[in-house]
Every structure is written in structure tokens, then in C-alpha cells.
Structure 1
Amino acid sequence: MTTTQEDSMNALTNLKLVAAKRPGSLPQVVQRRNRLIAKIWEQVELFKAQQAGTTFAPTKFRSVKDAETGEIRNVEVPKRVRAWWWTAENGRIHMHVKYGAKTLELSKGKQAIEVGSLEDLIPTLDMLRSAVAAGELDAQIEGASNLMRSGFVGKK
């Protein structure tokens, strides 16, 4: 054996080798968490853009049918991102969490988080992201998802 082959064999002995199969797709609960985490990221970017005096305009693809030719093609269009936060009557910043078009009920009868001031918004969104990643909002996400899905049943 050459020294290069010996070195590569030694490198493999330092790795932990396991017999594992990659799953075909992520579990539904993980997909929902990732979707909400992506929306939280959009809120952070929207806030940063507003603070900098710029606009945050992510894009998405939409299928458009050409009126003359009837050809369907994908076009990139700006995506509208609405802020989840607002200033309440007491002057403090409040925020709700949206999953799709539904506002999540974070605790029994409570849909909003009192952030306090604008400086606390990004740390609050970071805490929220951690809670979602840890699975703390799985029940609320599941409820909102089922509610949205029930609106599609029977429609064709």
C-alpha cells in the first residue's frame, strides 16, 4: 500500500461509521416547524429593512397563462410580507404569530406577545424561533394547519 492509501484508511478509522438509511421525506411536523421558522426569518429581515430605511422584497414564482398563446410559464413576482407587530394603545409593541392566514393561539385565550419596545423585537423573534425548533408550538401549528386544511375539503 502507498502512504496515501494508508492515510485515507487511518482517516476512516477516526470517523464513526453507522448503518443508516436517509428518510424519503421529512416528517410533517418538522416540515411545519421549518415553514414557521422561515416566516419568522422573514419578519426579522422585514424589521431590519425597516430600521435601515430600505424595503424587504423577497420573490416567489407564480404560474401565469399568456392570454394570446395560452402558454403557461413561471414568472418571478415580489412576495408581500406583512409585519406581525404593531403598537398597542399603551404604547408598547405587541406581536402575533401567523401560520398561513391563521393567528396562533399561544396560550389559552392569548394570541399576542407583548414585546415592549422595538429594540426587543429581534430577541423576541429569536426566542420564538427557538421555541418552534424545540417543538413547543407543535400543537398550535397542528391546529392551525388542520383548520386551514378543512377549508379545502370538498373543493375541486
Structure 2
Amino acid sequence: MSILDSVSVVDSGERAKGYDPVRVRRKKLGAALQEQINLIESEGGGYRRIRVQRKRDLETDQVFDVEQQRRVNPWWWVDDDGLVRFSMRYGSMKLIIKDGKDTLVLPSLDELQRLLPMLRAEVLAGGLDDVLAKAADALEARFKSRRKPAKG
């Protein structure tokens, strides 16, 4: 029996080329939601994002990798009524999810833990592309307003 008999083989189709801002936004929010999933699944909030940074030793001129642990801030909180509130973020902005509202209200953390993978799958499938585009435009406008006009 050949190894090729145990896998499916299809036509490759077209490969996405170049920079596609929609795809980049999906991947960025999907990665952030995956961090939230990892954080809620860790016991006691012990999850830390690991960032690898390259450094050069000035004496020996050798390059080596240094792992840095970064804290991940939860996007949820429990209010006074015991309800879990969750708001998604894109960069420094809260995403306006539906009807001008930005916070999901859930009865418990277990419900949030069940919701997050489905929400991530919807983001990667393109279900929140309009919301992400509005947030990206608002962020871009905020940065453009900070730039000083050129003198001349």
C-alpha cells in the first residue's frame, strides 16, 4: 500500500500572492483569539506568550536567540452580577461587533471557553471582515491625524 493512497490529492489551484490586508487582519485577530483561548485554558492565568529575539554578542560576534515571556491581558472580566463580559480588540481599539455594541455578555467562563474557538473559526472564515475593515480604517485615520503636514 502506497503512502499516497492514505491521503487525498487535489489540484493546487491558485496560490495567494502578495499582500492582502484582509487576510492579514484575519490572521492577526485569529492569533489574538488563540492567545485568549490559551489564557482561559491555563489554570490560574499562567499562560505567557513567548517572543524570540535575536541578539548579537559584541565580543564574539555570534548571534543567539533569547526567549522573552510576555504577559497576555485577558479580554474578559466578571461584572458585579457575576456575568462574564468579553470585548474583542484589534490593536488598541475595541471592535464594534453588532449594532454599535462592543461587548459580549455570557453567563460563565465555561461559556466563554466554548465560544472562543467558534469565534476564532468565524474570524478566519471571514465572518468579521467588515468589522475589521472599519477598525483598521479608524486606526489608520488616527495615525494619519498625528502626522504633521510637510512644510514647503
Is residue 21 of structure 2 the alignment partner of residue 28 of structure 1? yes
Deviations 1:78-98 (A, max 9, x none): 223110111123211110011
Is residue 33 of structure 2 the alignment partner of residue 40 of structure 1? yes
* Larger Rg, first or second structure (1 or 2): 1
Across the aligned residues of Structure 1 and Structure 2, the Cα RMSD in angstroms comes to 3.2
Is the partner of 1:79 in helix, strand or coil?
Answer: strand
Distance 1:28 1:54, change over 3 A: closer
Deviations 1:18-50 (A, max 9, x none): 6x553333522111111111111100101111x
Would you say how many aligned residue pairs link Structure 1 and Structure 2?
139
| 8 Å CA contact 1:43, 1:83 repeated in 2 | yes
Deviations 1:126-155 (A, max 9, x none): 221122122121111111112222233336
**How far, CA to CA, are the matches of 1:137 and 1:82 in structure 2?**
22
Is the partner of 1:39 in helix, strand or coil?
Answer: helix
Distance 1:47 1:17, change over 3 A: closer
Counterpart mapping for 1:67-146 below 5 A: 75-146=66-137
Q: Give structure 1 stretches of 5+ with no counterpart.
A: 1-6
* Segments of 4+ moved more than 6 angstroms: none
Instruction: Give the TM-score normalised by structure 1.
Output: 0.72
Structure-2 residue corresponding to 1:4: none
Q: Which amino acid aligns with 2:26?
A: R
Structure-2 residue corresponding to 1:152: 143
Is the partner of 1:132 in helix, strand or coil?
Answer: helix
Tell me by how many angstroms 1:77 deviates: 2.5
